[in-house]
Structure 1
């Protein structure tokens, strides 16, 4: 059913599969480097040889990521051959079947997920994207692996070298019953040179060092170290074919809204900005006043190149609202404002989306957006968060920068598919 000799595996993948017999087995390194396939094969072999006692669990950030990263590959006959027929799962279900054994699927988005492990006795566990699960969940999972010979398999991309997985486990491999394997892109024999080059071009700065080079490195200094006013600030806008708005809500802090447009050249343009700083103006605004001001701004905005006969006003397809601003979203709904959506607030992923666009000169900012232009050069990593092994922006002068992150990342499914339309 599973003939490793017939699979296109590298020597490192085969070696890691054969040696994954420790209590804790961790595959870490670059994206697409072959670590997930190797770890899943090791898990399947363990399932085939497992005794009847103890549960088998697969854990990840969410049920959706478990399905995408673990179960879908296992069901791919091109990857796993006849084995794929022996992996059954109904999308959305919290159990799957692998080689006739029931496997429990557990999402671990926050510390509350630890409670799902209480009372559980496991013999095999697999953790997808281990650096993204809470430390308490990982610790509790290890405690639940109490059957003799129990094993944990885990994969992860690198994070901060001060992350708990690195300092408490990987760095202490000699003291623990733990084996780990570090993978780079060169360890995946199935990738073409063209694909590797394209993949490397999609990551810049911190994410290139982690996701492509496979390095555990700290987030420090300027977040957008590729920012260059000479390259990224413009005084004219091309024809814009569609618009979106992103906004960061503030009462005592500034309120910032950005109008993002997709140009006919395929690039993204921050066309306009509306801000209100209650501390600077000594005047606070209610949700109703903010709603009226936002609608007035959009109703009065006109493309700078529009002729005098062109009526003002723009209707964005969607407005992505700060997820913490529930009361303001309610006010917008009450005022009949169309196309309201909760902004995507995956901070690191949002920053990476903006950084990738800036590095490729696919995101440009109009000179009128002075708040954003003031913030971007100083938008920096929080050194105190870095000391804790976390990646977080310094929460100072970040309101327009957050609004930019919201609207760019929330529309990623739109502009990513149009990448090949960019004109140079």
Structure 2
């Protein structure tokens, strides 16, 4: 694989003694992470004595984005590691693996003196942890290299570091912006197919590499004429991955079945909701909700378009008492939902935009909530992307089902996306 001029320049900057922090930001598939890894592997044998670390959102993302890539491009450079790895040997040096996925993230590096670090998806680190991390590179000749996709223009990484670097206030920083054109390993056909997967906010951030605000509708590509399918026109479902459940007591409870059609497209095929239209007087107990939900599931699996039973019942991770009740009532495949909100939103936005996700007209709660789902302007002003928490119960249930089962449907959907690209 060749190295582009942008990648060469970034490499040269990192090796310059005056540069202590190298940040590579920009579009997905633009070669940021690969060149960051190559630079770091080259530098490690020459790095000063002291602690080294790789920091990312979770150990899972560090493994997928960094360790697995090292193993693929230079297998002799890395020692054995597992999903529970806290330390891994890279280029003969012990490197600590540190996740930033909870409120105690900052404490994980407090007191640590670093000779070098690599940061994966820097915008996902809490600001206190990132500030703490910068101050921990106190070993002479210590260096940090970080990669990220763009985020809000009010994000601390943009306002406190990138903007100040551009003003000449951070002379020991080097910042390079990447697009897919900077990745020599991509074919024009592949670039075009990836561009088709995104729209709106996600297109501007992940394809154009812009630091732009999340404003207005979350699903700005929503079009009932494109995305809603009448029940009688659904293809036969060949697999049902899950029913995603967002649980409520005073608020609605929503459950949506995610299935794969024989056409290779994902469908939310049916929905069960308990809300003001059918709740009646008073609050339903967990036992009442569980029994009604399971009765619906057993009935739905015999419907004309749905002759397969969902593999999993995926529940809001905060609904502890409801999960206990479901288990007592014989629920199968009980799984805590992946509740990474932005990741789930992005999956759903990609599916709607690329055409590999559609909704049956039985899912009326989801259909009614989608067009009004909006970004929170107050959160945006503070540099965070958060949707307004109202009328989102079916949307949350859908997000749980999509994000938690991705590994089960991803390969089929990718093949479907390629076919859709060639027919449009």
Establish whether TM, by shorter chain, passes 0.5: yes
Q: Does 1:365 align with 2:355?
A: no
Closer/same/farther in 2, CA of residues 85 and 262 from structure 1, 3 Å limit: closer
The counterpart of 1:150, out of the listed 142, 157, 160, is 142
- Residue of structure 2 equivalent to 1:385: 379
- Please point out which of 362, 386, 394 is paired with 2:388: 394
Whole-Å separation in 2 of the counterparts to 1:378 and 1:389: 22
TM-score normalised by structure 2 residue count: 0.89
* Deviation by residue 1:206-235 (Cα, 9 ceiling, x = unmatched): 222111111111111111111111222222
Report the alpha carbon displacement of residue 38 of structure 1 after superposing the two structures with TM: 2.2
Deviation at 1:90, TM superposition (A): 2.6
- Conserved in 2, the CA contact under 8 Å of 1:300 and 1:313? no
Shift of 1:189: 0.8
The answer (yes or no) to whether the contact 2:26–2:179 under 8 Å persists in 1 is yes
Q: Does the CA-based 8 Å contact 1:245-1:320 persist in structure 2?
A: yes
Query: Which residue of 250, 253, 258 corresponds with 1:252?
Result: 250
Matched with 2:219 is 224
C-alpha displacement of 1:331: 0.4
1:324 and 2:318 aligned: yes
Q: How far is 1:185 from its partner?
A: 0.4
Q: How many residues align?
A: 407
Partners of 1:86 and 1:412 lie apart in 2 by: 30
Aligned mate of 2:76, from 69, 85, 107? 85
Separation in structure 2 between the aligned mates of residue 412 and residue 75 of structure 1, nearest angstrom: 23
User: Counterparts of 1:87 and 1:414 in 2: how far apart (Å)?
Assistant: 28
Cα deviation, residue 399, structure 1: 0.6
**Where do residues 114-129 of structure 1 align in structure 2 (5 Å cutoff)?**
114-129=106-121
8 A contact 1:323–1:342 mirrored in 2: yes
Distance, in Å, in 2 between the alignment partners of 1:107 and 1:250 is 31
- Alignment deviations for residues 97-126 of structure 1 (CA, whole Å, 9 cap, x no partner): 333322222222123122221222112121
What TM-score results when the alignment is normalised by the length of structure 1? 0.89
Aligned counterparts of 1:41 and 1:135: Cα–Cα separation in 2: 27
Which residue number corresponds to residue 280 of structure 2? 281
- Once the 2 structures are TM-superposed, how far is the Cα of residue 416 of structure 1 from its aligned partner? 2.0
TM-superposed CA distance for 1:301, in Å, is: 3.2
Residues 294 and 161 of structure 1: CA distance in aligned 2, closer, same or farther (over 3 Å): same
1:356 paired to 2:350? yes
In structure 2, the partner of 1:61 is 57
CA displacement at 1:33 relative to structure 2: 1.0
2:174 to 162, 172, 179: 179
